[in-house]
A and B are shown apart, each in its own frame.
Chain A
Amino acid sequence: GNSVTQMEGPVTLSEEAFLTINCTYTATGYPSLFWYVQYPGEGLQLLLKATKADDKGSNKGFEATYRKETTSFHLEKGSVQVSDSAVYFCALNSGNAGNMLTFGGGTRLMVKP
């Protein structure tokens, strides 16, 4: 079956530090990959996505590249801000009939001023 593995948190960084959150996946076929962000007390919002190998998704200074050879979709940002503090979820959609997502366990990011 499909699965997504993320690095466990929390990840604590100082403002302007470089961020990497690792995500690897197992899936049949050629899934689409997503990063969702959950700010405190809110639902999940799509941060970025990539639909085929070597695609790079980007948004709000975050980016992730779909690496089929390593089955990875690591999230990066060059300079984090306090407002980036949130929980980040990696997810995949393998094109099943229900358009269902498989989520990783989430990684909490805490950015200190």
Chain B
Amino acid sequence: NAGVTQTPKFRVLKTGQSMTLLCAQDMNHEYMYWYRQDPGMGLRLIHYSVGEGTTAKGEVPDGYNVSRLKKQNFLLGLESAAPSQTSVYFCASSQLAGKQYNEQFFGPGTRLTVL
């Protein structure tokens, strides 16, 4: 099992450019998440999905869009990148809800720099 994988690992964008980050999991998990990690602020939830075809906003959704067309994939899009979106992005997945002790499994992260 590869677990949770993320593509790409690093990316540099210019202000106004667009890009898509891909997350894939092979654990048949229902739930998937996108976080951003900034120094001293821990991880903040951007968007999440409770199943194929469904998405919901997290704590900091502005400037991002997501799609979950297949159960194993969760895409994060930046339509017009801004320097404030420079961050490390983590994808995670977990089993079906109703079990609040279920852990989330994290990918290795994508380091994005917006110039």
Which A residues are closer than 8 A to B by beta carbons?
A: 4, 8, 31-32, 34, 36, 41-46, 49, 51, 89, 93-95, 97-101, 103-106
Chain B residues closer than 8 Å to A106, beta-carbon distance: 40, 42
Q: Are B48 and A98 in contact (CB under 8 A)?
A: yes
Chain B residues closer than 8 Å to A95, beta-carbon distance: 100
B58 touches A (CB below 8 Å): yes
Which B residues are closer than 8 A to A by beta carbons?
A: 4, 31, 33, 40-45, 48, 50, 56, 58, 90, 92, 94, 97, 99-109
Chain B residues closer than 8 Å to A101, beta-carbon distance: 43, 45, 104
Given the interface pairs A103-B42, A106-B42, the reply to whether A98 lies near B106 with Cβ below 8 Å is: no
**Least distance between B106 CB and chain A CB atoms (Å):** 4
Given the interface pairs A89-B42, A100-B45, A104-B42, the reply to whether A42 lies near B108 with Cβ below 8 Å is: yes
